[in-house]
Structure 1
């Protein structure tokens, strides 16, 4: 695990631009403000944490989300939390934001002799359609977004809507396209793409894939040769095809620095149907 970054990646810059300085008091969490996003090392066979923040008091906030379709993986959450506590000696507070049926308080699980408690913050009463209208008005008028607005925009697709999750996600992505500041627009795209790809599986990834390939922001990521953006787009496409990627392939993609190679992989990715074919493309196997 890293709690400081020597050189921020595109995704890390995007998360820090969006979350740095946020306190979460607007959703009734009495916490210090966010200092920076934390990247954790993947533990094989366990789902990566959705969000991990280093706070200004040098404690960690592990944040997950759930709704009526997305359920938390408590085993994976416990494994990562204990790994950080044992390896780094840092205090970890774990919170689930619940946008589904009303549930507040705690989720409790015993793993052997270990007692694991996770705080659940009930946000099921948040009206996604009302929130969308409020955000749309602010963005169209060029108003600065406050802390609550930023959180609402990041998690808007998960709120209660009268339409399906896929349709709600498309609406959110179209709303982000109307943000006037290009860097801010790109940051929200990166943050939401990462959250969707880690939490929703194929349902959300399919929408992201279509949008990234066709939208102005997605095209600009490729046209401007942003390596991080191309890597993220490539992973979104591949995760739509495969539920997960072997660590060695993920590592090879994330460490590829040649823009022409990344662009070549992006062009070929839609025609890849098996892991064997993917290996041949990534490692140039004849």
Structure 2
């Protein structure tokens, strides 16, 4: 395993646009500010970290998200943290953000043989999401750029406490993001939030897929018929996931001209986890 500081991908670029220079003090973490997002190589049979940030004091912040249904994979978290410490000599602090009603803030501890592992739990469910939504909505509607606190709030807004369930909140937040006037800022949030959601909860992926089909973003993609742009987007996302694509998969995507099929692939590509799944999707190979 290595921490990879190679040239940033387009997704990493959007993460850095939002998080670079931010402090997590707003959610109760007194840490150095974020320097950049970090890409971590996958360790076989262990779940990749959700988010890993290099901080300005050259330590790493490992972030996971849980709720009442999503339980923390502490063994995977430990494996990645220890690999970074042993191979890179970097200090790692691991934090779990909770948006469930049953888990409280504090710590989660587990013993793995002689190794004692503990992580801090930050309770996002205790934050007033409806108040935060109204505050950010007013700021975006006025055409002003978001400040540091508001940027962090917008990223985690779907996970804060609301009077309506998560599957109703998420489309509202995505529609709020669509109102951002600055094109690069809007694109960054429309990229980063779905990326976090897709790594967190299947329910969120289903909601995002439905939102995309009925949103102006999805309609613009359809109406403009930018097949080449869709093919390029699919390729970029897949190459970021797998680094190299089999020739038959690459050719199947490059030669596809059906807009409906390309749209379907674009919606599903973020949740593809293996080359076999990819083959089944684009060329129906078992």
- What is the TM-score when the length of structure 1 is the normalising length? 0.81
Counterpart residue number, 2:176: 175
Query: Is it true that 1:230 corresponds to 2:234 in the alignment?
Result: yes
Structure 1, gaps ≥5 residues long:
236-246
SS of the residue corresponding to residue 199 of structure 1 reads coil
Query: Is it true that 1:266 corresponds to 2:262 in the alignment?
Result: yes
Q: CA deviation at 1:64?
A: 1.2
Counterpart residue number, 2:150: 149
SS of the residue corresponding to residue 125 of structure 2 reads coil
Q: Distance in 2 between matches of 1:75 and 1:179?
A: 39
Q: CA deviation at 1:220?
A: 4.9
* Deviation digits for residues 119-174 of structure 1 (CA, Å, limit 9, x no counterpart): 11223321112211111111101222122211111111111122121111111111
Counterpart residue number, 1:121: 122
* Deviation digits for residues 221-272 of structure 1 (CA, Å, limit 9, x no counterpart): 984827774358x77xxxxxxxxxxx9x844469998896286573564899
CA contact (8 A) 2:67 2:100 kept: yes
CA contact (8 A) 2:95 2:121 kept: yes
Q: Distance in 2 between matches of 1:108 and 1:128?
A: 28
Q: Distance in 1 between matches of 2:117 and 2:262?
A: 42
| 1:8-157 → structure 2 map (5 Å cutoff) | 8-101=8-101, 103-157=104-158
CA contact (8 A) 1:186 1:217 kept: no
Q: CA deviation at 1:281?
A: 5.9
User: Measured at CA, do residues 261 and 80 of structure 1 come closer, stay the same or move farther in structure 2, by a change above 3 Å?
Assistant: same
Counterpart residue number, 2:272: none
Pairs aligned (count) = 271
Q: CA deviation at 1:30?
A: 1.4
- What is the TM-score when the length of structure 2 is the normalising length? 0.81
SS of the residue corresponding to residue 85 of structure 1 reads helix
* Deviation digits for residues 15-69 of structure 1 (CA, Å, limit 9, x no counterpart): 0000000121222211111110001111222221111000111110001122333
Structure 2, gaps ≥5 residues long:
270-274
Q: Distance in 1 between matches of 2:59 and 2:232?
A: 28
Q: Distance in 2 between matches of 1:278 and 1:40?
A: 22
Q: Point out the more displaced range, 31-40 or 97-106.
A: 97-106
Counterpart residue number, 1:239: none
SS of the residue corresponding to residue 49 of structure 2 reads coil
Q: Distance in 2 between matches of 1:9 and 1:190?
A: 12
SS of the residue corresponding to residue 63 of structure 1 reads strand
Q: Distance in 1 between matches of 2:215 and 2:134?
A: 22
Q: Distance in 2 between matches of 1:254 and 1:164?
A: 41
Q: Distance in 2 between matches of 1:262 and 1:116?
A: 50
